[in-house]
Each structure stands twice: as C-alpha cells, then as structure tokens.
Amino acid sequence: MPPPTPTPNPAAAEFYKTRLEHTLTHTQRSTGHIYLVNGGLLGLLYFVASAQDLQPAAKVIVLFIGLAALTLINLLHARLLVLQRRWYELFSKKYAEATGAENATIKAGGFPRGTHGCYTAIHVVLAVAIFVLAVFLGVNGTTLFKGSVDEVKAPIGFHSEKSEKSP
C-alpha cells in the first residue's frame, strides 16, 4: 500500500513561507551589518598601522586587539550562519509538508553544504587566518614597527612634508 498523500494546509503553508522569508531577510541584514563593522575595524587597523606618530608598542597593542575583535566577529558570524541554516532547513521542511510537496525539497550534498555552509567555511578560514596574524603580530610586532619616523614609508599616495625634497 503506498504511503498516504499529505493534505495541504494553506494556513500553515503561509506561516512557514513567512518564516522562511524572515529568516532569509534576517541573514542578509545581519550579514550586511557584520560586514560594516568588519570594514570599520579594517579601516581603524589601516590607519593605526600607517600612523607615524604612534609608538611601536602602542601600534602592536591596538592592532592585536583589533585583529582579535575581527577573529571573534568572524567566528560569531560563522555561528550565526549555522543557526540561520538550521532555522531555514526546519521552516523549508515544514513548508513543504504544509503544501503537500514533501518530496520536492532539494538537499545540498558534499562539503560545504549549500550557501550557508560555504559562507560558514569562509568565515572560519578568515577567523583562523586573522588569529594567526594576531599571534604573529603579538610575538613579532615591536620589531616590525621599530625605526624612526623618517624610516617608515608612508602608504602609496601619502607623502609627508619631510619626504618631499626642496630645491
């Protein structure tokens, strides 16, 4: 005897469709906000690294804290993506059941599974790379920034008055 065909439930289908849309919107908005914070931190790190009037130890401390914050943010973003994927899969399954299309769901196979899995993997790799950079900076930082202000090269496009030769 074949399994019974599920009976569609329009009210439940509408509920789960709305929840799916909310989950997707929340993932997109929170990701945009996280990238905005990441960009702000990266800008801060750039200006601190290129600041010529900071002591090497101060640069190392601020850069280390900034890199540690970036590591944490990327790990939290990866965690958020895992949680969002779970919610999305749950609501997708419930929506399929409510519409009577249980067999129509598509499962992503392999590693990483689906878009959420790819983004999670990217953020974990970024977090590990940033953490390694932070440790390297913590161990070798003061030697990287040693030297007088005149010896430090300004980034491309930035010139100090001292670096320009007068005739």
Residue 104 three-state SS: helix
In a domain, 75, yes or no: yes
Report the C-alpha gap between 162 and 136 in whole angstroms: 31
Looking at residue 111, the DSSP 8-state letter turns out to be S
Contacts of 118 (CB under 8 A, 6+ apart): 112
In a domain, 110, yes or no: no
In a domain, 100, yes or no: yes
In a domain, 37, yes or no: yes
- How far CA 26 is from CA of 21, 103, 109, in Å, comes to 8, 27, 24
- How far CA 70 is from CA of 44, 59, 106, 130, 166, in Å, comes to 11, 16, 34, 7, 42
Per-residue pLDDT of the chain (167 residues; tens, 9 = 90+): 666 666 778 888 888 888 888 888 888 898 899 999 999 999 999 999 888 888 888 888 899 999 999 999 999 999 998 888 888 888 888 888 888 776 655 565 555 677 778 888 999 999 999 999 999 888 887 777 765 444 444 445 545 555 455 44
In a domain, 161, yes or no: no
Q: Say whether pTM exceeds 0.75.
A: no
Looking at the chain, list the stretches that DSSP marks H as alpha helix, in order from N- to C-terminal side.
10-50, 56-99, 114-144
Query: What's the total number of domains in the chain?
Result: 1
In one letter, which amino acid is 140? N
